[in-house]
Amino acid sequence: RDTRMVVKRFFPRVWAGSSPPYRLFSSVKNVFQASSSSFALEINQRLSRRLPRFGIDPSDVSFQYSPKEFYEGLIRGIKTAERRIVLSTLYLGDDDMSQDLLEELRNVLRARPRLKLTVIVDGNRNLRGPSGASANNTAVEKHGGNFSALQTLVQEFTPHNQVSCYLF
């Protein structure tokens, strides 16, 4: 009974043409399927009129299916950057992959003095201490949390490169 009331209230056209319950539910399913694609199209059109956008050639899009593939693609992008690198992340850890990433950033900044680096990180996660450190541990005071690695990068390369780091 509750389902019928919802359908009657929100889908009056479907309700009007449906007497047996099986037809009603079949029609509702069809309405959802038809409306979801038209709804998505309408949302896309409305957003396109209001928001800035840029075209992308489909051949320039690639998908990574594992963290390792993503990391390798990130390193390739860093190595081939010529003018700027913009890295936005929720977390930069103290694990080997994060340290290798920072080392690769150091190497490319040394090799290309005009390269600009911008790193945007989640302040909450990156001001914590090393992995496994408890909240009352003094690791944050000693090490500055995981953000300290980025701070040293900024200090090391600011005179030559434009290196910026933002917490959000």
46, 26 in Cβ contact below 8 A? no
Query: Mean pLDDT highest for which of 8-17, 36-45, 51-60, 62-71?
Result: 62-71
Mean pLDDT throughout 133-156? 60
pLDDT value of residue 29: 47
Alpha-carbon distance of 107 to 92, in angstroms, equals: 18
Alpha-carbon distance of 155 to 132, in angstroms, equals: 27
pLDDT value of residue 146: 63
Alpha-carbon distance of 80 to 91, in angstroms, equals: 23
117, 162 in Cβ contact below 8 A? yes
Please tell me whether residue 165 adopts helix, strand or coil conformation: strand
Tell me the pTM. Answer: 0.57
84-89 and 162-167 beta bridge pairing: unpaired
Domains within the chain, CATH numbers bracketed: 2-50 (no CATH), 59-167 (3.30.870.10)
Please tell me whether residue 135 adopts helix, strand or coil conformation: coil
Q: How far is CA 36 from the centre of its chain?
A: 25
**Range from 6-10, 25-29, 66-70, 131-135 carrying the lowest mean pLDDT:** 25-29
